[in-house]
Structure 1
Amino acid sequence: MSDAIQPMYALIYLLGVFLAAISQVLLKKAAMRPHKNFIMEYLDWRVILGYGIFVGCTLLSILAYKGIPMSLGPVLEATSYLYVTVFGVTIFKEKLSRKKCIALAMILAGILIYALAG
């Protein structure tokens, strides 16, 4: 496989990770809403769309692994912590503690070290 193709597959993987974070937001929004009964919790459009996006993300991951090494997947997957944190702060008004900031900085450092060393 040509090295010139690999960045496209890495972007496909990152898109899947980003969409998975969006689906988590949809599922959390659905969980925060009252529902008439147990069945209606799962028939909420947010839940259906969220799980549909997860299926799409799985397909994107399968496609991406055609052009990226297996060792790169977990590194790209780690970016989900960044997306989820940003969505948590902006959408759900969660507090960003000092410990969370340090943890995010360590995740970013790990991604950068892998990218620069690889």
Structure 2
Amino acid sequence: MSEHPSEPDPERLAALEKKLAAVRKAQTPPPQRIDHHLSQSNMAWRMVIEMVSGLGIGFGIGYGLDALLGTLPWFMVLFTMLGFAAGVRVMLRSAREMNEDRAAEQADTLLAEPEEDDERG
């Protein structure tokens, strides 16, 4: 044997590194979204902002028309109600998108889980 006993075998070290990498990869938890904990509050704020902006835009348009035409409360009331309806509609669309995203995440999670029955035979 020409190798010195205190020197490690490079082939064995490479094989050991491959085994360690496979074990580390198997034990590594899946990456979590950074904003996962804040996503519900972000969606809630998004819905509130959509509602308030709908009301504000409707109020602004109505008040502007009333100021131009001299019919002070009528257009303001009408467009504020239309802004409210638009805000509710946008909120419902956002809620539907959020539910679809959650359902897609759950489906991906279920598809990604390995089945235990396959291992037993």
Superposed pair shares fold, TM > 0.5: no
With structure 2 as the length reference, what TM-score do the two structures score? 0.33
User: Whose radius of gyration is greater, 1 or 2?
Assistant: 2
With structure 1 as the length reference, what TM-score do the two structures score? 0.34
Q: Which structure would you say has the larger RCO, counting Cα contacts within 8 Å and 6 or more residues apart?
A: 1
